[in-house]
Amino acid sequence: MKLNYLLLDVFTTTRLAGNPLAVVLKADGLLDDQMQAIAGEFNLSETVFISKPKSDRHAAAVRIFTPQVELPFAGHPTVGAAVVLGLQNRSTAVRLEEKIGVVTCVIERVDKHVGHARFALPQLPEEIGKAPDKLAIAETLGIAPEDIGCGLYQPAVFSAGVTFYLVPVRNAAVLKAIKLERRGWEHVYPAGHGSVYVFTETPEERGIDFAARMFSPGMGIGEDPATGAAAAALIGLLGRFAGPGQTEFKLRQGYEMGRPSLISIQLRKDGDVLTHGGIGGHAIIVGEGTLDLGD
């Protein structure tokens, strides 16, 4: 069996920046354990497998794997898969069948290698638990307890399909200074895969509203350059303090890793109720190849 694949950098228009993604094409017939093994072989934060959809109204079915687990939803694989299908089929919109449900993506072609995709969240974020105390969080991140908290924001646990511990910190200098202590990580962060999204406001950075870093040892990811599912969870916390109507933010991630990424976030509130969340970003194709899985 031979399968073609593409390599993309997502949430960027610059090659060798953003979050790398492997997109395996025509993956019909692969077993679950084969997909997981291939994702482990690529050893990227995520690998996405594209196959025929169940409904003729949809462009493709999509499965998303980290090196260790399958995810029902993730942002950078959704953007990457949508851009690939949009460029290949010259489409301006695609519907993707993901484990979480159908995700509708609007696509803009930049050139034959670059596109932009944005989509409404298939599941609005919900607060699903209580955050650890600041001392425990500080010990896992190698920062001081008084560095935790930023403006109106305090630690919280939200999910828009994937659970994240959201940890606001005082400023970008604290964000940059994080040094992980993985001992006891599972005890401090027991929910989901123990994924932590640390963020801060960036009033001194022109055109950037927030900066973030994501750590998820439980997914087989030390640090992720750009995490759309975490940004989707963050919409829940941002929405708590946003005014009515539509608000848009720009969030940077991956800068501390040398993989700068830019994620667009949209939210809308009708009165006090969050009624819409959206994620957007660019993707660029940087390579292609063939997997040879033998007979």
Q: What is the mean pLDDT of residues 236-241?
A: 97
CATH class in words for 126-281: alpha beta
Q: Domain locations in the chain?
A: 2-120+282-292, 126-281
Q: What are phi and psi of 125, to 5 degrees?
A: -70, 145
Q: What is the mean pLDDT of residues 241-250?
A: 97
- Write the pLDDT tens digit of every residue in 102-115: 999 999 999 999 99
The model's pTM: 0.96
Active site residue 127: no
Matching CATH number, 2-120+282-292, of 2.30.30.180, 3.40.50.720, 3.10.310.10, 3.90.1150.10: 3.10.310.10
pLDDT at 219: 85
Q: Residue type at 123?
A: Q
DSSP state of 59: S
Indicate the helix (H) or strand (E) that contains 116. Answer: strand 114-120
Q: How many angstroms separate the CA atoms of 12 and 17, rounded?
A: 6
Domains 2-120+282-292 and 126-281 alike in fold: yes
Distances from the Cα of 205 to the Cα of 147, 171, 263, 264, angstroms: 20, 11, 15, 15
Q: Please count the CA atoms within 13 angstroms of the CA of 191 that sit on its side-chain side.
A: 17
Q: 41, 46, 146, 288: which is the annotated catalytic residue?
A: 46
- Tokens 């695609």 map to which residue? 94
- Write the pLDDT tens digit of every residue in 195-209: 999 999 999 999 999
